[in-house]
Amino acid sequence: DAEKQFVQQSDQQLMNDVTEALIEKTEFDLPKEFLQKWIRTVGEKPLTEEEAKEEYQNSEKGLRYQLIEGKIVKENDIQVDFEALKAFAKDKIKEQMAQFGQMDPSDKELDDIAARILSNQDEVKRLSEQLVNEKLLNFYKDNMKFDEKEVTYDEFVKEIYE
C-alpha cells in the first residue's frame, strides 16, 4: 500500500531529523580521553592512538544519541513489557502474511509463530528496539512542535531521498 509506505518514510525522516536536532541542541561533555583509551583496548586487537581517535570521532554522535535517548526513555517511563512485545510481534507477522496473500491468520497461528520468534533472544532484542523506536516516535509527535508542510509526490521523493 503506497500510502502506508509514504507514512513510514516520512516517520523515518522525522525520526532522523529529531535525532539530529537532539544531538545538535543537547550539550554535554563526554569523557573523551577515557573513551579513546577504552576504544583502544576493547576490540579483538588493540588500536593505535590515531585509530582510536578516528573510531571515537566516527561513533561520538551515536553515543551521544544513545545517552539522550536513554534519558528520554527513563524520564518518560517508555517501557516494553512482554505482552506489548508479543502484540507487536503478532502485528508484524500479520503484515508479512498479508504480503503473501494470507489475509486472516488464526489467533493460534499467530500465537505459535510469535512464540517461536520470541524464543530467539536476537529477535526479542530486535523487536524490542523497534517497539521502543515506535514509542519514541509517538512521544516526539505528541510532545514536540513541528512545521508541517504539504508536498507533491515529486517533492516528497526528492526530500526523502536527498
**Looking at residue 43, what is its pLDDT?**
86
User: Which one is predicted more confidently, 78 or 160?
Assistant: 78
pLDDT > 70: percent of the chain = 100
Q: How far apart are CA 20 and CA 14, in angstroms?
A: 10
Average pLDDT, rounded, for the chain: 92
Q: Say if CB 11 and CB 137 are below 8 A apart.
A: yes
How many H helices and E strands in the chain?
7, 0
Mean pLDDT score, 3-19: 90
pLDDT digits (tens, 9 = 90+) for 40-74: 999 889 999 999 999 999 999 999 999 999 999 99
**Looking at residue 156, what is its pLDDT?**
82
At 118 the three-state DSSP class reads helix
Q: Say if CB 45 and CB 37 are below 8 A apart.
A: no
**Looking at residue 65, what is its pLDDT?**
96
**Looking at residue 151, what is its pLDDT?**
84
* Residue whose C-alpha cell reads 493460534 in the numeric block: 108
- What are 124's three cell numbers? 526479542
Instruction: For residue 148, name the pLDDT band (cuts at 50, 70, 90).
Output: confident
Where along the chain do its domains lie?
1-75, 79-162
Query: Could you tell me the pTM of the whole model?
Result: 0.81
Q: How far apart are CA 150 and CA 153, in angstroms?
A: 10
pLDDT digits (tens, 9 = 90+) for 95-135: 999 988 888 899 999 999 999 999 999 999 999 999 999 99
